[in-house]
């Protein structure tokens, strides 16, 4: 797999909501080769603490050389990254991992939870190259509205129908994103593309199995390298006879490949 190391200049920083940021960087090689679902490894400081790079899904690519990541401040690394300003450079490796497989002749259901919506915008744009607007549905869930309001707007601007549900009811209906799934019409072959926290994905996979829908999920784990060298990102395989590695076999996996422990 072709991967690159680029010193990418930050061209735009957008504070989407409290602790939620989008960074646009100029990384021509990585942007050119990125496919929806793939990720990059970003060095958040020049020093040694935090030591490891942080993995981020590619949120969008634009203009042929720009790449965007969407993240929430949760620890030292993301805090450092949120403190960076346009004009500064970040050291990025990628693109890594398996991308989403675009299904054919299906109703495409994009299911995102919180910051897990990150790779779905890029996916939607790719799907729209070959599919009509009405064959895509976007279901977004979050704890609270401001976590997804901005991204929901981006989907809407693509002409897509977006259903929103929040745990606190501050935006859209009140409930979990899986509640929206149970209301889906089943007159067509369905492909679900899920990304979000692990418990949500497990619930999404459960509903897909019950309804015999195909489902791909994008998993997130800790990883040290992204290169399948550290083997830190192991997830138990469905047959319980070994592990899949999120960086190399994923991050996008068919729901049937995972044991869902």
Residue numbers 230-259 binding another protein by CB under 8 A: 230-236, 241-243
Q: How far is the CB of 141 from another protein (least distance, A)?
A: 23
Q: What does 193-208 look like in DSSP terms, one character per residue?
A: EEES-HHHHHHHHHHH
Within positions 63 to 102, which residues make up the interface with another protein, using CB under 8 A?
91, 93
Q: Tell me which DSSP letter residue 147 carries.
A: G
Q: Is 46 in the site for another protein (CB under 8 A)?
A: no
Please, what is the minimum distance in Å from the beta carbon of residue 252 to another protein? Answer: 18
Using alpha carbons only, give the angle 185, 190, 192 rounded to the nearest 5 degrees: 110
Strands, E assignment, 100-233 = 107-113, 136-142, 161-166, 173-174, 190-195, 214-218
What whole-number distance in Å separates Cα of residue 86 and Cα of residue 110? 31
137 sits near another protein (criterion: CB under 8 A): no
Among 89, 135, 144, 221, binds another protein (CB under 8 A): 221
- Which residues touch 97 (CB under 8 Å, ≥6 apart)? 37, 38, 39, 226, 246, 247, 248, 250, 251, 252
Helix (H) or strand (E) holding 25: strand 20-26
Residue count at the site for another protein (CB under 8 A)? 32
219: DSSP letter: -
Binding pattern for the stretch 4-43 against another protein, x by CB under 8 A and - elsewhere: xx-------------------------------------x
Question: Does 128 participate in binding another protein (rule CB under 8 A)?
Answer: no
Q: Which is nearer to another protein, 172 or 251 (CB)?
A: 251
Q: Counting contacts by CB under 8 A, is residue 227 touching another protein?
A: yes
Residues of this chain that interact with another protein (CB under 8 A) are 1-5, 43, 48-53, 91, 93, 221-225, 227-236, 241-243
């Amino acid at each position: 797999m072709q991967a690159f190391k680029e010193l990418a200049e930050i061209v735009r920083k957008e504070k989407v909501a409290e602790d939620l940021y989008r960074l646009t960087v100029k990384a021509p090689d990585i942007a050119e080769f990125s496919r929806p679902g793939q990720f990059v490894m970003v060095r958040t400081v020049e020093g040694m603490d935090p030591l490891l790079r942080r993995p981020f899904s590619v949120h969008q690519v634009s203009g042929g050389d720009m790449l965007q990541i969407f993240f929430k401040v949760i620890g030292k690394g993301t805090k450092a990254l949120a403190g960076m300003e346009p004009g500064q450079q970040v050291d990025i490796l990628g693109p890594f991992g398996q991308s989403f497989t675009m299904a054919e002749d299906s109703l495409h259901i994009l299911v995102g939870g919180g910051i897990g919506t990150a790779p779905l915008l890029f996916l939607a744009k790719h799907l729209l190259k070959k599919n009509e607007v009405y064959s895509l549905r976007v279901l977004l869930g979050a704890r609270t509205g401001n976590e997804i309001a901005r991204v929901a707007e981006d989907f809407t601007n693509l002409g897509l129908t977006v259903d929103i549900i929040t745990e606190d009811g501050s935006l859209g209906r009140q409930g979990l994103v899986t509640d929206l799934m149970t209301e889906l019409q089943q007159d067509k072959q369905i492909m679900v593309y899920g990304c979000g926290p692990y418990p949500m994905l497990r619930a999404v996979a459960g509903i897909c199995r019950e309804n015999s829908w195909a489902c791909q999920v994008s998993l997130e784990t800790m990883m040290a390298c992204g290169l399948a060298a550290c083997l830190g990102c192991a997830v138990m395989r469905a047959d319980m006879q070994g592990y899949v590695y999120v960086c190399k076999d994923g991050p996008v996996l068919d729901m049937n490949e995972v044991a869902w422990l």
